[in-house]
Structure 1
């Protein structure tokens, strides 16, 4: 009886040890799985990063060296920061915009500014795409399948956010902040002078696109005049939310003292003589700006987008040179 009891005890003890080993093994496997899952999660986090732009969060690769600037606004910002996109867009046709050509030597043109080609972008294997928020949601969704796509805004008042986004993507945050700071410093230096020398003067930007076009105070280059330098907004354009056709009658009513006249050949392929027709028009010649030789044609590149650091800085320089000598 004692013999059998001892054998039974040994058997139970062996079973307990075996069960314990299996339990430890299962626990180890479970722990290993958790460690693997945690490691995989950490690896994923280390290969991506989160960027917030205009209130929305985007997931992008940790390194975003391969950028496609699929909008003229992002191209201008890239030129300011010395960023070399692998892909860029044209204004028309397949040629790189002339005014930015020297900045993007070697970049591939992936289509025009209205509709970059998704297949051409895919071949470049980009990390991110900076498209234009002028594009519709369907186009942006298509580009987002190629790489995370930011709807880079054309809104002039958001130029700082645009530049800071590109700075984050390229590790040039400090440089972006300096460009912004330098611009604001120059504005502060010129503002008092502008208000004194241009007091009671009406200053306008007119863009020739077949006919004369004017813009509301928050559009194109106008924020430089009316927000940054504090000049008076002509009441005839004060409520405009988009570009508006400017008739000669309205121009005569405004009677501007200074006109910055922008004419881009690529926007006037069907009306190549439009600029000459404006300058020779009797009503145009009768306004103060024309009579006093204060009409400045293409003070900056007529292709400039207006609401970027590139455009604003150059326009401010032109104002300083032409008006605030």
Structure 2
């Protein structure tokens, strides 16, 4: 009889332990990742690390420990990284959607990717499901988002500053073993810049070239180190308009201010996604009597969307495509 009671007690204790373990596992698998990552995800990461080993890479003065072999990359927030993937032919397993779909701009590399949410709204649960080796986020992310991503996989915040474009390209190349490809892309681009510079500086001496982006129905200019300006003013050496020199960030420019600048050539980027509430803004802008008296508009030297309007301007892909367009339109 005593043995029977002992057996019943043992079974009861065993069932309580199982119930406690089950409750613990349920709480750990919170998709919001506000708590510790799930036991299953942690175990998977540990197994992959033990199998593949790790290595340390340097990026913008910081050290990052990543798997020896990086095959599964998720990109969230970092549009710059998406452009670098296009030029290096790197195919992520998870990528940014815009308006619920992948932009045509990235079509060549999103053939095997799944959406992990919008640009500034990552779907953490989906990212966990994809089990990435590395996550490429954005330096625009708040610390809270960065912390959640770090719980899933090694996370590198890719710089959104245009002057870091070479570092960004080399980062992706080092992660994926495509250093030779990156070196070739950079050397070719720099040679093309020098060839174009020699001709353009002479032809456009004393003339002004401006790049404008329309968002929410408003025209904006950027500092000389941002958008396509580094190509125009930094690499090609064209004259920097005062309105651009004074800009501290993305700054709205009125038609009167643009008239004061009076550029001889204007490149305008207009995306329907960025002007959903003002779809006719560009046409209304061009019809404005003040705008029609600006030299570029009078001489029909205004070029709209010479590259995909979603291009960031700073990354290698933006620079390569924009340089091609500058040569096409300014060397007529």
Q: Same fold (TM over 0.5)?
A: yes
- 2:267 aligned with 1:225: no
Shift of 1:241: 2.2
5+ residue gaps, structure 1, are 1-42
- 2:292 aligned with 1:285: yes
Deviating beyond 2 angstroms after TM superposition, the runs of 4 or more aligned structure 1 residues are 43-46
1:102-159 deviations in Å (ceiling 9; x for gaps): 3311210100111211111110000001111111111111111111111111111110
How many angstroms apart in 2 are the aligned matches of 1:258 and 1:186? 21
- 2:320 aligned with 1:310: no
How many angstroms apart in 1 are the aligned matches of 2:252 and 2:311? 20
- 2:263 aligned with 1:263: no
Which residue number corresponds to residue 156 of structure 1?
A: 162
Aligned partner of 1:87 among 86, 94, 116 = 94
Residues 109-188 of structure 1: pairs in structure 2 closer than 5 A: 109-188=115-194
SS at match of 2:269: strand
Q: Which has the larger radius of gyration?
A: 1
How many angstroms apart in 1 are the aligned matches of 2:188 and 2:125? 39
Normalising by the residue count of structure 1, what TM-score does the alignment of the two structures yield?
0.85
Which residue number corresponds to residue 71 of structure 2?
A: 65
Q: Which stretch shows the higher mean deviation, 246-255 or 112-121?
A: 112-121
Shift of 1:44: 6.2
1:244-280 deviations in Å (ceiling 9; x for gaps): 0001111010000000011000001111111111111
Number of equivalences: 282
How many angstroms apart in 2 are the aligned matches of 1:112 and 1:272? 21
CA contact (8 A) 2:86 2:108 kept: no
Shift of 1:225: 0.2
1:149-190 deviations in Å (ceiling 9; x for gaps): 111111111100000000000000110111111110100111
How many angstroms apart in 2 are the aligned matches of 1:51 and 1:106? 26
1:197-230 deviations in Å (ceiling 9; x for gaps): 1111100001111111111100011100000000
- 2:220 aligned with 1:213: yes
How many angstroms apart in 2 are the aligned matches of 1:150 and 1:256? 40
- Cα RMSD (Å) of the superposition? 1.3
Normalising by the residue count of structure 2, what TM-score does the alignment of the two structures yield?
0.83
